[in-house]
Amino acid sequence: MTITSAYDRGRLTVYLSGELDHHAAGEAIHGIDELLDEFLPRDCVLDLSGLSFMDSSGIAVIARARYRMQSLSGRIWIECPSPQVQRVLDAACIDRLVPVTSGNIGGLR
């Protein structure tokens, strides 16, 4: 799994790609933590379009990122999950915690 990011005017977009399972989750949690510490963003977008597989370990990664954004009084949402990732998100009812959008909507205003 790889993590890349883009930052623009208070918005940090984190691009996760590859397979996000328990093996990769620790690296993802710490990678996102480091990005949030560096940029202290107002908004954080988790772009999952590059994830070919995710299991419930990804839910822990998302929950951790949400907790960190809450501590920054910022917002967070998920964009572009694949159908397999969407099924895991649905099973975990993640949209009760973090909004999920099917495409880039330019932010939640």
Partner 1 sequence: MNTVNIIRLEFPSKSVNESFARTAAAAFAIQLDPTVEELGDLKTAVSEAVTNAIVHAYPDSIGQIGMKLRILERDTLEITVRDWGRGIENIEEAMKPLYTTGGEERSGMGFTIMQSFMDSLRVRSSPGKGTTVVMRRTIRPRITGK
DSSP annotation of 72 reads T
> Is 98 one of the binding residues for partner 1 (CB under 8 A)?
no
> Is 25 one of the binding residues for partner 1 (CB under 8 A)?
yes
One residue of 6, 10, 23, 104 binding partner 1 per CB under 8 A: 23
Q: How many residues does the chain have?
A: 109
Minimum distance of partner 1 from residue 88's CB (angstroms): 6
| C-alpha span between 16 and 2 (Å, rounded) | 6
CB distance 76 to 69 below 8 Å:
yes
Nearer to partner 1, 14 or 65 (CB): 65
Specify the 3-state DSSP secondary structure of 88.
helix
> Is 60 one of the binding residues for partner 1 (CB under 8 A)?
yes
Instruction: Using CB under 8 A, list all residues that contact partner 1.
Output: 19, 21-23, 25-26, 29, 53, 55-57, 59-61, 63-64, 83-84, 87-88, 91-92
